[in-house]
Chains A and B, each alone.
Chain A
């Protein structure tokens, strides 16, 4: 019979699983189930950080998109009003 492996975070406790990401033994308390997989809290934190960094460029892209939308609306409106002005100038 293999000796009981203790949890990486709680040496006094017996590990109940192994984190599929870092392969460290973890106890029940340290296990967090996410998308059907048991992971340790450190890996989950690292994953959250990665997700956050992935999201950041999107936010700046959103700002660029919003600025482009404002610019497009302003120039389009100016152009159409200019056309109206030219037509009115030829009529009046």
Chain B
């Protein structure tokens, strides 16, 4: 059943509930599709750390990771088509959904990879000037160095704002690419048109998901050391060597936990995008209905018509 108009947190809540209620569908479509990219990213960080900086190898790895975004787009496509079926109370068949998404793979990839690229590039654009500003600031020459620090943070904030708006307005691109007829024009352009009145809501949704992702990652990073400590207390065995590896000081451990957190959040992200799309349709439908009702509302006999009251005095 389609829910009524939802708030941003309502969308996140509803998507978690849907993922909890349909675990097989979520695992076989969204999570399975995103698994190669998540693992690939973690392995890439581990290899960079162990092999050292080789630009050719890094470029090859980057191309492989960009290609691994294809199964992710297909998984999302299947997930979003499945969400439509769930909302319409129709049966969900993951293999059939994956086949349908595969037929739309180029459209889905372009709709997902382009905003993803801008989100990553935007993070660099925002972080770069801020880091330069922090390094440039000198407490001993506070006023002299303050200018560059301020300029850096302002530039970073502006970059983050612009990229945030750009990415937020493309949040519906994948749901549109997954569900709209194939010859209906660019999903990125259509998403920008549909989100126009709801950009703050879309930005809030993306911020919520990003914060949620960080929380899940920190929890997972801390979970293993806590678990080992508890196991030491309960069993009396020493896990000192393992605790030395499973620590937040180890970049590879952080990367693999990051991959796990990314995978854990993928169903929520995907279903949130689908629900935001469906919510927009509900709201637009409601607004249209209200306008139609207002136009058709019968005027009681003797009551002044619109604009007539002032004339009558």
Contact = CB atoms under 8 A, between A and B. Distances in A.
B115 to A, nearest CB: 9
Interface in A32-87: 59, 62, 65-67, 69-70, 72-74, 76-87
A73 to B, nearest CB: 4
B202 to A, nearest CB: 20
Contact of B59 (A59, A82, A88, A92): A82
A interface: dominant SS = helix
Given A70-B109, A73-B114, A82 B62 contact: yes
Interface residues of A, number: 26
B58 A86 contact: yes
A70 B113 CA distance: 8
Contact of B183 (A62, A81, A82): A62
Contacts of A80: 117, 120-121, 124
Interface residues of B, number: 31
B61 A77 contact: no
Residue among A67, A79, A84, A86 with the highest chain B CB neighbour number at 10 A: A84
Interface string B115-129: 011001100100000
A72 B124 CA distance: 19
A89 interface: yes
Contacts, number: 82
Nearest to B41: A81
A77 B69 contact: yes
B63 to A, nearest CB: 5
B109 A83 contact: no
Nearest to B51: A89
B114 A92 contact: no
A78 B44 CA distance: 13
A90 to B, nearest CB: 7
A66 B183 contact: no
Given A62-B183, A73-B113, A78 B106 contact: no
A86 B53 contact: yes
A74 B48 contact: no
Contacts of B307: none
A78 to B, nearest CB: 4
Interface of A: 59, 62, 65-67, 69-70, 72-74, 76-90, 92
23 contacts: A66-B110, A69-B186, A70-B106, A70-B109, A72-B110, A73-B117, A76-B113, A76-B121, A77-B65, A77-B116, A78-B65, A78-B66, A80-B120, A82-B58, A82-B59, A84-B124, A85-B61, A86-B53, A87-B124, A88-B48, A92-B45, A92-B48, A92-B251
A-B pairs with lowest CB-CB distance, top 10: A89-B53, A81-B62, A73-B113, A85-B58, A69-B110, A82-B62, A77-B66, A76-B117, A78-B66, A77-B117
